[in-house]
Amino acid sequence: MALLPVAEAHRLLLDGADCLPAVRVPLSEAAGRILARPIAALRTQPPFDTSAMDGYAVRAADVSAVPAKLAVVGTSAAGHGFGGSLGSGEAVRIFTGAPMPAGADSVVIQEDARVADGGRVEMTEVAIGGRHIRRRGLDFAEGDPLLPAGRVLDAAALSLAAAANHAELDVVRRPLVAVIATGDELLPPGSVPGPSQIIASNGYGVAAIARGAGADVLDLGIARDDPAEIAAHLARADAAGADVVVTLGGASVGDHDLVQTVMRDAGVVMDFWKIAMRPGKPLMFGRRGTTRFLGLPGNPVASLVCSHLFLKPLLARLGGRGFRQDLRQATLAAPMAANDLREDYVRARLAADATGLRATPFKLQDSSMLRLLAEAECLIVRTPHAPAAEIGEPCTVLLLRPDLF
């Protein structure tokens, strides 16, 4: 079987992967979600003319020359407006956010006023009509469009929705990812392994990548190398309504690699298997109805690299999120040998200097070595049949820790 190019695998992976339907959630649970439908303002903000400063509400005509003494006839505070109307020669003590009294058309800030005798205040700065007033509807008016569908509900968007009086929002449903590790050799962390056993590690990293891409994760634990047990785990994922089922291991061609056979028996139609990439050649992908099945390699590094390259964009598409791999241009800080027919993703250090980014590949690239992946800041992306490259030559890197750069 010919190896499938990475670009073609991406195309097949995302083909028909439509945004999931909307669900309605309280505003308090909407942080980080994707708005499924546009929203408009349910009220006007501010709903009335308000003071932008602490001071005195006045008629500008009464303070056209200074000093000017006015009688203080009341107070307007946020939530407790002045109920009367301002007359000639009168002022109302006012605070930021408070409603402007009827008849007032300016605010003299408190630094430009001083308390005088007989319940009066003396203005030391000329008042200008409209000064220090936030007009009704300054921010938005009822019916104004505010947020489009597809907007990530960050802090500003949530605050805007709340100010517009939305208690609930329609958001894209989070994809549910079921994760199944396979293998007789696997035990959960904290176990005491036997002579032929190892600790299962891949699932924790895959789950973290999925959650970072906006998905919910259902960890279904470890399935032994038994077709009936693997099928039972797949049935549990189906019963939970998983949108994506991720299996770890069992995707190769050995006698104990049973996942593909069990998937086919369960009605999964395989779109591809075996990719022209390193690490991650035995990656497989299929679907049954609207459920997608991603069979990741058992080698820890291959499993996580494939999750970055394939699981993240799939979950972004299902979750209504925009997605673009963080690819940057860098120069090599060490030579690299010629590449073979597979697209290579080489773990590397990344540093920034005055000339830009410099990538240093690790000498060892075995796909079982998680420590090097944890230490890597990037993957150097090498195209199939790339020639040998020397120090200082350009390269493309996929950032694994973009927060550092």
Across the strands, what pairs with 216? 176
Closest CA to 305 of 380, 199, 383: 380
Query: Would you state the pLDDT for residue 380?
Result: 98
Per-residue pLDDT tens over the stretch 279-327: 999 999 999 999 999 999 999 999 999 999 999 999 999 999 999 999 9
Q: Supply the DSSP string of 324-351, one letter for each residue.
A: ---EEEEEESS-BPPP-SSEEEEEEEEE
Is residue 121 helix, strand or coil? strand
Residues 6+ apart with CB under 8 A from 151: 34, 35, 157
Q: Which amino acid is at 134?
A: R
Residues 6+ apart with CB under 8 A from 33: 25, 152, 153, 169, 171, 172, 174, 214
Query: Token pair of 284, please?
Result: 């497989």
Using CA atoms, how far apart are residues 4 and 300, in angstroms rounded to an integer? 21
CB count within 10 Å of CB 249 equals 27
Domains of the chain: 6-20+174-318 (3.40.980.10), 22-43+153-172 (no CATH), 50-134 (2.170.190.11), 327-404 (2.40.340.10)
Using CA atoms, how far apart are residues 77 and 313, in angstroms rounded to an integer? 51
Q: What is the pLDDT along the chain (405 residues), one digit of tens a residue?
A: 579 999 999 999 999 999 999 999 999 999 999 999 999 999 999 999 999 999 999 999 999 999 999 999 999 999 999 999 999 999 999 999 999 999 999 999 999 999 999 999 999 999 999 999 999 999 999 999 999 999 999 999 999 999 999 999 999 999 999 999 999 999 999 999 999 999 999 999 999 999 999 999 999 999 999 999 999 999 999 999 999 999 999 766 555 578 999 999 999 999 999 999 999 999 999 999 999 999 999 999 999 999 999 999 999 999 999 999 999 999 999 999 999 999 999 999 999 999 999 999 999 999 889 999 999 999 999 999 999 999 999 999 999 999 999
Q: What is the DSSP letter of 174?
A: P
Q: Supply the DSSP string of 1-46, one letter for each residue.
A: -PPBPHHHHHHHHHTT-PPPPEEEEEGGG-TT-BBSS-EE-SS-BS
Query: Would you state the pLDDT for residue 310?
Result: 98
